[in-house]
Amino acid sequence: MKTIIEPFRIKTVEPIRMTTEQERSRFIKEAHYNLFSLKSEDVLIDLLTDSGTSAMSAEQWSALMKGDESYAGSPSYYRFEEAVNNLMPFKHIIPTHQGRAAEAILSSIIGGEGKVVPNNTHFDTTRANFEDVGIKPVDLVIPEGRDPAADHPFKGNMDIGELENLLQTEADNIPLVVITITNNAGGGQPVSMANIRAASVLSKQYGKPFFIDGCRFAENAWFIKMREDGYGEKLIEDIVREMFSYADGMTMSAKKDAFSNMGGWLALNDDDWAEQARARLILTEGFATYGGLSGRDLECIAVGLKEIVDEDYLQYRIRSIQYITEKLDEIGVPVMKPAGGHAVFIDARELLPQIPALQYPGHSLAVAMYVVGGIRGVEIGSFMFGLQPDGSEVAAPMELVRMAMPRRVYTQSHADYLIECFEEIYRRSGDLKGYEVTWQPPSLRHFTARLKPL
Of the candidates 454, 391, 440, 443, the residue with the CA atom closest to the CA atom of residue 37: 440
Contact 260, 297 (CB under 8 A): yes
Q: How far is CA 144 from the centre of its chain?
A: 19
Please, what's the b/e burial string for 393-413 (b: 16 or more CB within 10 A of its CB; e: otherwise)? eeebbbbbbbbbbbbbbbeee
- The span from the CA of 179 to the CA of 75, in Å, is 32
Tens-place pLDDT, residues 138-171: 999 999 999 999 999 999 999 999 999 999 999 9
- The span from the CA of 404 to the CA of 215, in Å, is 13
pLDDT, position 86: 97
pLDDT, position 186: 86
Residues in the chain: 454
Task: Give the CA distances from residue 256 to residues 152, 155, 301, in Å, rounded to whole numbers and listed in that order.
Answer: 24, 20, 10
Structural domain spans, the chain: 21-50+311-453, 58-307
Q: Which residues contact residue 410 at a Cβ distance below 8 angstroms, ignoring those fewer than 6 apart?
A: 45
Q: Which residues of the chain have pLDDT under 70?
A: none
Tens-place pLDDT, residues 169-181: 999 999 999 999 9
pLDDT, position 443: 87
The amino acid occupying position 245 is S
Task: Give the CA distances from residue 219 to residues 66, 200, 297, 341, in Å, rounded to whole numbers and listed in that order.
Answer: 28, 20, 22, 6
- The span from the CA of 267 to the CA of 379, in Å, is 30
Neighbours of 436 (CB within 10 A): 12
Continuous segment of H or E residues that includes residue 93: strand 92-96
The amino acid occupying position 214 is G
- The span from the CA of 378 to the CA of 299, in Å, is 31
Q: How far is CA 13 from the centre of its chain?
A: 26
Q: What is the DSSP letter of 324?
A: H
Q: Which residues contact residue 94 at a Cβ distance below 8 angstroms, ignoring those fewer than 6 apart?
A: 102, 105, 265, 266, 267, 268, 274, 277, 278, 281, 288, 291
pLDDT, position 124: 82
Beta bridge pairs of residue 210:
177
SS3 content of the chain, % helix, strand, coil (to 5): 45, 15, 40
pLDDT, position 187: 87
How do beta strands 92-96 and 264-268 pair?
Answer: antiparallel
Task: Give the CA distances from residue 43 to residues 46, 223, 256, 365, in Å, rounded to whole numbers and listed in that order.
Answer: 6, 31, 21, 16
pLDDT, position 2: 73
Beta bridge pairs of residue 264:
96, 253
- The span from the CA of 260 to the CA of 297, in Å, is 7
Cα separation of the two ends of the chain: 50
- The span from the CA of 113 to the CA of 133, in Å, is 7
Class of domain 58-307 as given by CATH? alpha beta
Give CA torsion, residues 45, 343, 261, 28, to 10 deg: -40
pLDDT, position 297: 96
The fold adopted by the segment(s) 21-50+311-453 is Aspartate Aminotransferase, domain 1 (3.90.1150)
Q: Which residues contact residue 77 at a Cβ distance below 8 angstroms, ignoring those fewer than 6 apart?
A: 95, 289, 290, 295, 298
pLDDT, position 389: 87
Give CA torsion, residues 201, 206, 211, 216, to 10 deg: -50
- The span from the CA of 101 to the CA of 126, in Å, is 10
pLDDT, position 436: 97
The angle subtended at Cα 397 by Cα 144 and Cα 371, nearest 5°, is 110
